[in-house]
């Protein structure tokens, strides 16, 4: 592969992962997120049981796994939308367990949802403005005096219009978000998350329900986040997309991280194949075993015929 | 039929103290339900707190009138905090259940026999509005536009103070809802989790909405007590809350003018239909009902009107059709 033809962010990420052991919980050179022993139980079911996992800064990491592997539940633990039963995790070295969802977002770890949460009865631009952090006018008393927040609001609007243009939503600026198509809502949700200038963007199934024509544009935006210095962690089912954009893949099954590795090789990992298709589903019979089974069957037939 | 009497009563009701009381109650609900999506079914409790705070402070304890106003506002804030802390983290329906129960608790406490020395039991309290009417700048006499509108000087004073309160509350909300603060509230109404994921303290905003709505409701209670110069516990039953919701939906939720116009129209129509039917019965134009049945029938007609409104114009008078027709997921 020609390193010089790659964008800088991609090259840096690939370099960081070069020669890394493809083992669950492998240490990364510069982790932004470090997770230890996170457990979440629903009654008798252990939905998440992650021993150790690290997310490399500046990379695009995919989190894959069969249905019910606990990917979204794991996301919810990390972002404070659900309380983990055990475990701790640090973001930029700060402990994040027990931190409420809004504080997690303020620290620079912003998520999107599997089912898009565009705020339908707000216009697109209002959706965007809402994403900005530390707004003076979001205090009731300061909000009553427009002079105190107008200036900041204008800056926020400029930033929002800039992002809308990048995401090709500028034509929809004053439409209600509820009038957008499914794919446009995904774009809006992603753009809105970026209003807070996050360091780590966590996307829960960004491609679910998106028109194929929009897929390429969405992929481009995700790749671009890395070039802008952000770290991306995403849950996805579409393996083509995973192969296309991710630098590193973490595989979950039954709540545990069972494998990690580069996207090209991780899918052929035996543990991953087992997780998706069941253990020994295609283990070939050895020649001796085949012989033995044949003899057994013949002996059975002989026995029946002689009786 | 005396059409002058019918119109005069209807117009007077449309700008009278009832319209003010229900406008304030509905403005409070508008903050909570219209903008934030909080189902407060205990607005009557907040009005009762406002009304009884003045009555008890002045009538029972003989303390100054304005102290009673201060106590009323403070108690409304405390009640909102008390209701909100356990329920606002839970699903929306819990708040509805807890608020309706809390309002009934307030009513049953003030009408209880054990506390009748303080609250006056079922008879309520009187003789507390003296210092309010002492401040009346209107000299005795009749005011208005004869022959339709006519109020005495005491009513004029209540109406002036009341409509100033309505205007103030509406102006504050108008400014607040245009600000980023209002944007957060509207976003919470749409989807709490999305707002949380954008770094906003949803619990705090919901609490602020509950407190502000409750305080505005308690101001409705002040006018309720002062306009009658008396308070009775059973005026603050759940009917009051549901009429206030009717007023809000009639005018259009999440609109600044919605509750005001809704309240004026509600009382205008209610009295117009009631007085109109009474006059029709008295003059012999309607023979199949008696005057005593008019009260019940007019409420049936109001119910019918509300149903038609919800079917054909669910956004109310001022609502935006676009906002209603979009399927919020």
CATH code for the domain of A79? 3.40.50.300
Q: What is the pLDDT of residue A284?
A: 58
Number of domains forming the structure of chain B? 1
Closest-CA residue of chain A to B212: A140
DSSP B59: I
B328 lies in some domain: no
| A220 touches B: beta carbon within 8 Å | no
What's the pLDDT tens digit per position in B74-133? Answer: 999 999 999 999 888 887 788 899 999 999 999 999 999 999 888 988 888 988 988 899
Closest-CA residue of chain A to B204: A139
Structure tokens at B19: 């319209």
Task: Provide the percentage of residues in chain A whose pLDDT is more than 70.
Answer: 95
Q: Is residue A265 over pLDDT 50?
A: yes
Structure tokens at B44: 């009557």
B8 lies in some domain: yes
Q: What is the pLDDT of residue A1?
A: 46
Q: Which of B243, A240, A263 is nearest to A251 (CA)?
A: A263
Q: For chains A and B, what is the number of CB pairs under 8 angstroms?
A: 114
Q: What is the pLDDT of residue B199?
A: 92
Q: Is residue B235 over pLDDT 60?
A: yes
H-helix or E-strand spanning residue B66: helix B65-87
Contact A122 B187 (CB under 8 A): yes
Closest-CA residue of chain B to A122: B187
CATH code assigned at B44:
1.10.3470
User: Rounded to an integer, what distance in angstroms lies between the CA atom of residue B197 and that of residue A100?
Assistant: 10
Structure tokens at B310: 């919800």
Q: Residue A281 sits in which domain range? A: 3-306
Q: How far is B278 from chain A (nearest CA, A)?
A: 45
> Of the candidates B179, B201, B323, which has its C-beta nearest A102's C-beta?
B201
Number of domains forming the structure of chain A? 1
B329 lies in some domain: no
Structure tokens at A150: 């107008």
Contact B197 A111 (CB under 8 A): yes
- Residue B329's pLDDT band (cuts 50, 70, 90): very low
CB B166 within 8 A of CB B260: yes
Contact B198 A178 (CB under 8 A): no
B327 lies in some domain: no
Please report residues of B whose CB lies closer than 8 A to that of A200.
none
What's the pLDDT tens digit per position in A139-191? Answer: 999 999 999 999 999 999 999 999 999 888 889 999 888 888 888 888 899 99
Q: What is the pLDDT of residue A243?
A: 87
Question: Could you give the ipTM of this predicted complex?
Answer: 0.85
Q: How far is B328 from chain A (nearest CA, A)?
A: 6
| A117 touches B: beta carbon within 8 Å | yes
Task: Provide the percentage of residues in chain A whose pLDDT is more than 90.
Answer: 25
Residue B143's beta-bridge partner residues?
B151
Q: Is residue A282 over pLDDT 70?
A: no
- Residue B162's pLDDT band (cuts 50, 70, 90): very high
In this structure, chain B runs to a length of 329
What's this model's pTM, rounded to 2 decimal places? Answer: 0.88
B217 lies in some domain: yes
| B91 touches A: beta carbon within 8 Å | no
What's the pLDDT tens digit per position in A83-128? Answer: 888 888 989 888 888 889 999 999 999 999 888 888 888 999 999 9
User: Rounded to an integer, what distance in angstroms lies between the CA atom of residue B177 and that of residue B94?
Assistant: 26
- Residue B170's pLDDT band (cuts 50, 70, 90): very high
User: Rounded to an integer, what distance in angstroms lies between the CA atom of residue B210 and that of residue B215?
Assistant: 9
| A135 touches B: beta carbon within 8 Å | yes
User: Rounded to an integer, what distance in angstroms lies between the CA atom of residue B37 and that of residue A121?
Assistant: 13
């Amino acid at each position: 592969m020609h390193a010089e033809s790659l964008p800088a962010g991609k090259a840096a990420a690939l370099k960081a992962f070069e020669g890394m052991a493809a083992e669950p919980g492998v240490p990364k050179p510069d982790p932004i997120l470090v997770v230890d022993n996170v457990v979440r139980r629903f009654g008798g079911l252990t939905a998440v049981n992650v021993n150790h996992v690290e997310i490399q800064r500046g990379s695009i990491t995919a989190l894959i796994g069969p249905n019910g592997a606990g990917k979204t539940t794991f996301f919810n633990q990390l972002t404070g939308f659900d309380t983990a039963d055990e475990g701790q995790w640090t973001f930029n070295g700060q402990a994040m367990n027990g931190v409420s969802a809004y504080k997690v977002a303020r620290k620079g770890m912003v998520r999107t949802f599997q089912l898009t949460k565009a705020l339908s009865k707000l216009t697109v631009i209002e959706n965007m403005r809402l994403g900005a952090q530390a707004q003076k006018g979001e205090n009731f008393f300061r909000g009553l005096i427009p002079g105190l927040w107008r200036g900041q609001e204008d800056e926020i609007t400029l930033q929002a219009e800039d992002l809308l243009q990048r995401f090709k939503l500028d034509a929809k600026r004053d439409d209600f978000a509820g009038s957008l198509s499914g794919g446009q809502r995904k774009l809006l949700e992603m753009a809105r998350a970026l209003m807070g200038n996050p360091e780590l963007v966590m996307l829960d199934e960004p491609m679910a329900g998106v028109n194929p024509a929009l897929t390429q544009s969405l992929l481009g935006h995700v790749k671009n986040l890395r070039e802008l210095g952000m770290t991306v962690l995403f849950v996805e089912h579409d393996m083509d997309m995973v192969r296309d954009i991710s630098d590193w893949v973490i595989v979950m099954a039954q709540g545990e991280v069972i494998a990690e590795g580069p996207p090209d090789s991780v899918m052929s990992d035996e543990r991953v194949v087992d997780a998706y298709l069941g253990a020994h589903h295609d283990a070939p019979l050895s020649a001796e075993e085949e012989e033995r089974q044949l003899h057994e069957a013949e002996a059975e037939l002989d026995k029946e015929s002689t009786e | 039929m005396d059409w002058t009497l019918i119109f005069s009563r209807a117009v007077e009701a449309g700008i009278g103290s009832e319209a003010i009381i229900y406008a304030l109650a509905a403005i409070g609900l508008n903050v909570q339900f219209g903008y934030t999506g909080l189902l407060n079914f205990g607005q009557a409790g907040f009005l009762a707190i406002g009304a009884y705070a003045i009555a008890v402070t002045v009538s029972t304890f003989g303390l100054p009138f304005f102290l009673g106003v201060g106590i009323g506002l403070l108690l409304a804030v405390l009640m909102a905090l008390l209701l909100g802390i356990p329920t606002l983290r839970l699903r929306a329906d819990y708040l509805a259940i807890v608020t309706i129960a809390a309002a009934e608790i307030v009513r049953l406490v003030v009408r209880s026999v054990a506390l009748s020395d303080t609250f006056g039991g079922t008879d309520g309290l009187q003789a507390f509005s003296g210092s309010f009417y002492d401040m009346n700048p209107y000299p005795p006499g009749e005011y208005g536009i004869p022959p339709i509108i006519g109020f005495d000087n005491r009513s004029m004073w209540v109406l002036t103070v009341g409509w100033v309160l309505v205007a103030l509350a509406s102006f504050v909300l108008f400014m607040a809802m245009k600000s980023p603060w209002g944007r957060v509230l509207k976003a919470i109404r749409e989807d709490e989790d999305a707002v949380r994921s954008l770094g906003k303290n949803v619990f705090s905003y919901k609490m602020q909405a509950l407190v502000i709505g409750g305080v505005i409701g308690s101001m409705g209670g002040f006018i309720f007590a002062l306009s009658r110069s008396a308070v009775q516990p059973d005026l603050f039953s759940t009917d009051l809350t549901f009429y206030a919701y009717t007023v809000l939906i009639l005018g259009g939720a999440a609109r600044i003018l919605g509750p005001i116009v809704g309240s004026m129209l509600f009382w205008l129509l209610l009295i117009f239909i009631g007085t109109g039917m009474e006059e029709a019965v008295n003059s012999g134009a309607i023979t199949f009902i008696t005057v005593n049945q008019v009260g019940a029938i007019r409420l049936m007609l109001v119910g019918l009107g509300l149903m038609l409104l919800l079917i054909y114009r669910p956004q109310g008078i001022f609502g935006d059709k676009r906002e209603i027709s979009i399927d919020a997921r």
